[in-house]
Structure 1
């Protein structure tokens, strides 16, 4: 897998590049905080664990222990309690349904729709998050089963719409600008309704 540059922090980006579970956790955390901070979260968690960041290690923790790790300053997420629960549920699902192999979720997906279905079956991965992750896998990780762009929807197109399009600081700023414009359009449409 290529070296991702999603966070601007070399250690965090290296972990995301080398550890499929870390990449899934980063995507899971990408909610109600800055994208790059969400994807730094796995590195912070890895630093706080007594060993490598794996689904088995996280699933084996008592949920209250995991929440305590999320709350250590700087907190891993703005909502440490609920996000720790989601990460724990993700880890348990990966252990129980995928033999602890996070990459197995996408490694042998026959096509884009199957890949998206597998992702939406994971705790914390709704339709939009799954489409963004399909785009990230396709655009930056070489995971391109037939139909992946269609499964990713708008996020599979060229442009600067999500973390899937972030390759450096400049593209991060372009994605942020696109998201802000999208929110402004939605707010304007709601006001007109």
Structure 2
């Protein structure tokens, strides 16, 4: 079961990227996985570039089983071809394949099954956090994104996602337009500066 798609997403840098994120749970999950050490918009645009390179037709979806079954060097080529999908194409191609294999093995090949029918926020964060490439913080941010923009709101989701579940501009879960993206970026910058001062 796919989550309820929002009116429009503002996570990627192109309309095609945002349209894919809105209707393809795997693209959304991959965007979150790639969201490290590169700009958020780049991370969430890369799934649509990957789909294009894999020959997914317009309006189609990425297929976890197809990605898991690709020869690793083929997927690496998709990641490495300019413009590269990530600053670290090798490690992220491997991680993407691991994530897709986990979805095939444990979730029937459908990313949406990870959050379908979940009955508590804690269980939602636990499920996401069990996926390759998702630590606790990333799991809480993604759970907050599902709640705030896709209507996936199991009991206790705000408590389970901590600060990310609160109103404000703390993470990608709060990016709903250009202005909120700027505010989230400012918040992250301030947090980094604060951490440096305390180090």
Range class of TM-score, shorter chain: over 0.9
Runs of 5+ consecutive residues of structure 2 not aligned to the other structure: none
Whether 2:160 is the aligned partner of 1:155: answer no
Decide which of 23, 28, 32 is 1:27's aligned counterpart.
32
Instruction: Tell me how far 1:57 sits from its aligned partner.
Output: 1.4
CA distance in structure 1 between the aligned counterparts of 2:110 and 2:20, rounded to whole angstroms: 16
Structure 1 residue 6: deviation in Å? Answer: 1.2
Most deviating of 138-147 and 44-53? 44-53
- Given the alignment of the two structures, is residue 70 of structure 1 paired with residue 75 of structure 2, yes or no? no
1:50 shift after superposition: 3.0
Report the Cα offset of residue 62 of structure 1. Answer: 1.1
1:108-143 alpha-carbon deviations (Å, 9 max, x no partner) = 111100001100110000000000001000000000
Q: 1:107 maps to which residue?
A: 116
> For 1:177, which of 166, 186, 190 is the aligned residue?
186
2:125 counterpart of 1:116: yes
1:47 corresponds to which residue?
A: 52
Please say if 1:36 is aligned against 2:46: no
Structure 1 residue 36: Cα displacement:
1.1
User: Structure 1 residue 78: deviation in Å?
Assistant: 0.4
TM (normalized to structure 1)?
Answer: 0.96
Structure 1 unaligned segments of length 5 or more: list them.
none
Tell me if the contact between 2:13 and 2:45 (Cα under 8 Å) persists in the aligned partners: no
Runs of 4+ in 1 over 4 A off after TM superposition: none
1:136 aligns with 145
Q: Is the 8 A contact 2:13 2:42 kept in 1?
A: no
Q: In structure 1, what is the Cα distance between the partners aligned to 2:10 and 2:192?
A: 25
